[in-house]
């Protein structure tokens, strides 16, 4: 009886080792496929993010250039306004002096 028990234990270990390998393989395959899908989705996400980053960077440069042009135009307008005020002030002084005479 003891001999039969040992033989049964040995057979159980053999069966367990072969079944355990199969079960691990059956578990690993779906996990591997899931991991591959996750990696592919992440790569696609990164691709989209890089494209969006490039678009935002391009828009930022466009707006910076537009802002620079607007700043130059504002400076030119301010200069013209100051010149006009100077001319108006000079004309008012001359008119005031002419009225006093």
pTM above 0.85, yes or no: no
pLDDT in tens, 25-64: 888 999 999 999 999 999 999 999 999 999 999 999 999 9
pLDDT at 33: 95
Structure tokens at 68: 């620079």
Helix (H, G, I), strand (E, B) or coil at 82: helix
Structure tokens at 56: 């935002």
pLDDT at 98: 64
pLDDT at 86: 87
Please indicate whether residue 68 or residue 5 has the higher confidence score (pLDDT): 68
CA 12 from centre of chain: 56
Q: Could you give the CA distance from residue 100 to residue 94 in angstroms, rounded to a whole number? A: 10
Q: Could you give the CA distance from residue 77 to residue 69 in angstroms, rounded to a whole number? A: 12
């Amino acid at each position: 009886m003891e001999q039969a028990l040992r033989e049964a234990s040995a057979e159980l270990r053999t069966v367990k080792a072969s079944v355990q390998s199969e079960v691990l393989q059956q578990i690993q395959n779906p996990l591997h496929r899931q991991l591959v899908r996750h990696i592919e989705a992440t790569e696609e996400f990164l691709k989209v993010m890089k494209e969006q980053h490039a678009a935002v960077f391009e828009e930022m440069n466009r707006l910076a250039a537009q802002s620079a042009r607007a700043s130059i135009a504002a400076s030119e307008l301010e200069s013209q306004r100051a010149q006009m005020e100077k001319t108006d002030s000079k004309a008012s002084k001359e008119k005031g002096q002419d009225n006093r005479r």
